[in-house]
Amino acid sequence: MRPAWLEIDLNAITENVRRIRRHVGPRTSALAVVKANAYGHGLLPCAMAALRGGASHLGVAILDEALELRENGVTAPVLILGAPLPECASEIMAAGVSQVVSCAEAITALSDVAAAQGREIGLHLKVDTGMCRVGANPAEAVALAQRILEAPGVRLEGICTHFATSDEDPDFLAEQNAGFQRVLEELDERGFTPPFRHAANSGAIQASRETRFNLVRAGLLTYGCPPLPDEKPELIPALQWKTRLVQVKRVPAGSFVGYGITARLSRDSILGVVPLGYADGWPRALSNRGRVLVRGEGVPVVGRVSMDQFTVDLTEIPGASLGDEVMLVGSQGERRQTVDDVAAAAATNTHDILAGLSIRLPRVYHS
């Protein structure tokens, strides 16, 4: 096996979903978001682990992810969260999943295909309450809901929105939620009562009881990476990212390190070569600023991160040698480095780091 790998604790994912369900209460179901290869953790194993924890639905971003689940025997409800092109209606129907919609064209295309096949598909009408991304204008929501109710082959299975600042700005979160509530009230007045109403992503699950309705969409929380770490529920990180030193050598003061000679050694140093790089998801932005753990101590990245390797300064680590474990994410001794720590050093967010974990990193699953 390549000396750089991910270790995934599937029991942690199962337990995290259980804790999320307890946190939101018995009247609210949990959709586990497994898009982007389950946030880098591995789509199929993590989907099964989430279902064992009591997730009622699985959420994906694109049709290919839904098809991979179905082709591997997953029969649980799957919701495609991304906006569909009308010409994809036949493939969506073939997958036997539900679909988020926010425009008349998608509703019509799915209705036409479903009716022609004598089948039915559940649609979740998405309302744009302030993110200005995918979603119908609130003023159009009632008309689109009416269109779904009247069209053959489709049913109004849910209504939803998405929050822009659930882990950053509680005032804007409340503003968006109030806008969603107004749409729900308008639909209720007309007797439109879809089975599922959902708005809360991971940050909102933690931050706002008022946003939970009867279904929540747990992304980061499923994997033990809470966007608001000081809030409940308490979770178990599912991922460790490990590698091993493939070279350790002494280098004299004054030597340059890496592409672009952006680092110059101010002292005689001991350097270690780490056999992964930005092609694996370790961001180039960590050049001369990231850290990893070796022998239970933090050591700095020296020079630019390359596509397949980078260099660390081991001068302060007595006995560091070829083959030593390097912990990029996880615990070593009494020290721990989280995905949040890596993201902060790279001036990005946790989602970016997890979604960037390359498929060329072997996944080792524990359960």
Catalytic residues: 35, 259
84 DSSP 8-state letter:
P
Q: Which of 11, 17, 7 is nearest to 367 (CA)?
A: 11
Q: Which of 50, 38, 57 is nearest to 198 (CA)?
A: 57
Region of 253 please: left (phi>0), alpha (psi -120 to 50) or beta: beta
Residue 176 near residue 211 (C-beta atoms within 8 A) = no
- Give Cα separations from 267 to 164, 252, 313, 322 (angstroms): 47, 7, 11, 21
Please tell me the total number of residues recorded for the chain in this structure: 367
Tokens coding 160: 């939803």
**Dihedral sign (CA 277, 278, 282, 283):** positive
Residue 14 near residue 53 (C-beta atoms within 8 A) = yes
For 129, phi then psi, to 5°, come to -105, 15
H or E segment and range at residue 109: helix 104-117
Measured distance between the N- and C-terminal CA atoms of the chain, rounded to whole angstroms: 20
Spell out the residues 6+ positions from residue 181 whose beta carbon is closer than 8 angstroms to its own. none
